[in-house]
A = this chain, B = another copy of it.
């Protein structure tokens, strides 16, 4: 019996990532959160602050995945164009969301009040709902299977927190790691054979260089906890029989 797999994609919007100025933290954050929800992140695209590029990525990914997330470009300044780009992609107008306006009015009441820039953050594609954000007032935006979140990772974390447990997913993809000061090119046959013998598991090999030495961690993934354990045991035994000193949990 093969179970339904729920999938997601992520569009990261930001010239600052593409210029190398800012190291993205949202890919790993969204990826880890999706794992726990039982949803598989299948693709990420990083695109510039250009309306056509954002709309193109959104349209390419929203119909091919169960969920689509975006990060970035929903703030108050002229370079925040995600709402316009998504509305364009969906073919709907941009409207002011009354509840978003009320949230912003409350949030800014003691902070100098609303101004046109702040009010920009109440704009949503028609038909959208809000994703609460305790930190900065301005909400995230949900429209259908599309979730627009902030670029600032701490705010995105708040929005993900608000969404936790609300999206339907499948069995989470579980993973276990085995690793050591092993050269992956010494054990490539073992990896392939153990993977073949456990069809519901995938084994990834991740080499590293530390302190001038070569090692590798082997990550075994499966939605079936029993089969995962059997595969981890089989791999550990096979590596040790081949004289490799590996540690559960990896190094």
Contacts and interface: CB of A to CB of B under 8 A. Distances in A.
Interface stretch (A44-52, A90-98, A234-242): A44-52
A207 interface: yes
A18 interface: yes
Instruction: Classify the secondary structure of A's interface with B.
Output: mixed
Contacts of A117: 184-186, 188-189
Contact of A20 (B18, B32, B188): B32
Tally of this chain's copies: 2
Closest 6 CB pairs of A and B: A20-B31, A117-B188, A20-B32, A44-B46, A76-B185, A77-B205
Interface of A: 12, 15-25, 27-35, 40-49, 53, 75-80, 111-112, 115-118, 120-121, 135-136, 151-152, 154-155, 173, 175, 183-186, 188-189, 191-192, 195, 202-209, 214, 219, 221
Given A17-B44, A49-B204, A79-B202, 18 more contacts: A15-B204, A16-B206, A16-B219, A17-B31, A19-B31, A19-B35, A20-B32, A20-B41, A22-B28, A23-B27, A44-B45, A75-B205, A77-B184, A77-B185, A77-B191, A79-B204, A115-B186, A117-B188
